[in-house]
Structure formats: structure tokens, C-alpha cells
Amino acid sequence: MMQLQSDRLYYRRFTPADDVLMYALDSNPEVHRYLGNNPVTDICQVQVYINSLLDQYERNGIGRMAAFTKDTDEFIGWGGLKLEHNVNGREQFYDIGYRLLPQFWGKGYATESATFFIDYGFTTLNIPVINATALRANIASCKGLIKSGLTEIETFDYNGDEAVWFEVRRKLSL
């Protein structure tokens, strides 16, 4: 599998050997603050998640990818596209997302990865529209999505919280 890269980060598919890295990310309560406040408590849970990612890579050709710093080769979390279903009344759509370890927040990495994968989706995968969702209260996420070129389209209820539906469309070059 080809390795992808942006300015300061590189990306690769997750493998079953990444369970410890994924556990560090998903057992962190700070990381899960706006993700339902339900961090994992057993490594088996991330093993199930990694298996679902392997399945998505196989079936859809895409899925969230592990992100690493180029200079220090540290795992920072994940970014990328996912073929998502049944959110805000949409049956199927391409979702851009990110989830980073707190020590790597505030450095522009989320924006860098989202900008990279949106361009990858448009130019390499030929996807015409990419969406994203975030809770309104998740200010860093909403700002990162806007900075990455998405536009707020509408809001919707997500388990009693206000969520924002974002979109970006491929520009057609004439």
C-alpha cells in the first residue's frame, strides 16, 4: 500500500499491530470529550475497531489512516476519509474526520490532514462532495473543518446535542 504524506505528516493504513497505539488514543477521556464521553476501557474494543477499518479498506478502498510526524516518527492519531452511512438523514456520504492525541493538539495537524485528504478525495478518488459532522461545542473541530475548506450547511440534533453538518464540493475546472 502506497504511503501518503503532507507537509509535516505521513499516513498509512492501520494494521492489527497498532492496537496499543489506538488504545492510547481511544482510552483517553479528553479525546472522547465530544465523542460521547465513552472512552474504551479494554484493548479488545480497539481490536474490533481495527478489524472494522481493515474491512473498510478492503470494501471501500478508503478508511481512516494512522498519522505520524515525519520529523520524529511519532503516532499522533488518525485522519482521512470514511464512507459513512445514516447521519443527519443522509444514507451514504464521504466523511472527513480526525482524532489526535492531546499532546499534538493546537499545532495545525488536524487542518493539515483534513486539507490533504480532501484534496486526495477530489483529485485521486474523484469524489465530488465531502461532508463532515462535529458537535457545535467542539470548537477546535469546527474551526479545523472550516479552515480545511468546508462550509457549514445546517445543524441537526445528535443525541440531544447540537451538531453541525459541513460540506465541500470539488471545483470543476473548465
Ligand X SMILES: CC(C)(COP(=O)(O)OP(=O)(O)OC[C@H]1O[C@@H](n2cnc3c(N)ncnc32)[C@H](O)[C@@H]1OP(=O)(O)O)[C@@H](O)C(=O)NCCC(=O)NCCS
Binding site residues, ligand X, CB under 6 A: 31, 34-35, 98-100, 105-111, 134, 138-141, 143-144, 147
In the complex with ligand X, the residue whose CB is nearer, 50 or 163, is 163
In the complex with ligand X, the residue whose CB is nearer, 36 or 59, is 36
In the complex with ligand X, the residue whose CB is nearer, 50 or 100, is 100
CB of 115 to ligand X, least distance (A): 9
- Distance (Å, rounded) from C-alpha 6 to C-alpha 112? 7
CB of 159 to ligand X, least distance (A): 14
- Distance (Å, rounded) from C-alpha 110 to C-alpha 144? 6
Q: Are 11 and 18 in contact (CB under 8 A)?
A: no
In the complex with ligand X, the residue whose CB is nearer, 2 or 6, is 6
CB of 144 to ligand X, least distance (A): 4
CB of 142 to ligand X, least distance (A): 8
In the complex with ligand X, the residue whose CB is nearer, 5 or 59, is 5
CB of 166 to ligand X, least distance (A): 10
